[in-house]
Amino acid sequence: MTRRVAQDFVDLDRYPIGDLASAEAAALIADYRERFHNDGILILEGFIRPGATIDLTEEARSAAPRDFARVHHRNVYMGSPDDTLPEDHARNLQVFSNRGNVSTDRIPDSGPLKTLYAWKPLRDFIGAVLDGPPLYHYGDPLASLMINVNHAGEELGWHLDNSESSVTLM
């Protein structure tokens, strides 16, 4: 796999996020801000170039054997039941998850995933769409960038992340 820079991964013609001060980027951000506000989710079809998708997928597949298994029963809020609430309350409904994760420290520093993750224009673009306080990379050396690994028969139960927002690259 050839070492690439983050700009190689994003379709900058379709998503001009390299210069957020441009009129094209401002219009895109305004549209995405409204869509995210209305829908609570934003899907960016074709954001990653097809060739880059191959590199990112190859890296994730090569890291998959280094995953660690996680099996747990939790509520959708990723916590324990609350005995003060009715049994059928969302905080007491249990979901099951069994899947693997590859932690940040097991992903190559020079690989495409960390290259894309560290690219400041991407973080600034996401922050502009969210229209909130500045975004920072998660400081946890194990969980800042994770690869979810689902083998046949494994699942990630429905849940709400313990953060204001999350970015998923699929």
With beta carbons less than 8 A apart as the criterion, state whether 106 and 66 touch: yes
Query: pTM for this structure?
Result: 0.81
Structure confidence at residue 166 as a pLDDT band (50, 70, 90): confident
- pLDDT cut 70: percent of the chain above it: 98
| Average pLDDT for the chain | 87
Is the pLDDT confidence value at 1 over 60? no
Residue 33 pLDDT more than 60? Answer: yes
pLDDT at position 3: 56
- Is the per-residue pLDDT at 2 higher than 60? no
* Element (DSSP H or E) covering residue 71: strand 68-75
Phi, psi of 122, deg, nearest 5 = -65, -45
> Rounded to the nearest 5°, which phi and psi values hold at 3?
-65, 125
Work out the burial of residue 41: count CB atoms within 10 Å of its CB; fewer than 13 is exposed, 13-18 middle, 19 or more buried: exposed
Beta-bridge partner residues of 97? 72
Are 137 and 157 in contact by the 8 Å Cβ rule? The answer is no
Token look-up 């059928």 returns: 88
> Helix, strand, or coil here: 142?
coil
The answer to whether 16 and 22 are in contact (CB under 8 A) is yes
pLDDT (0 to 100) of residue 101 = 86
DSSP string, 111-157: SHHHHHHH-HHHHHHHHHHHTSSPP-----TTTSS-EEE--TT-B--
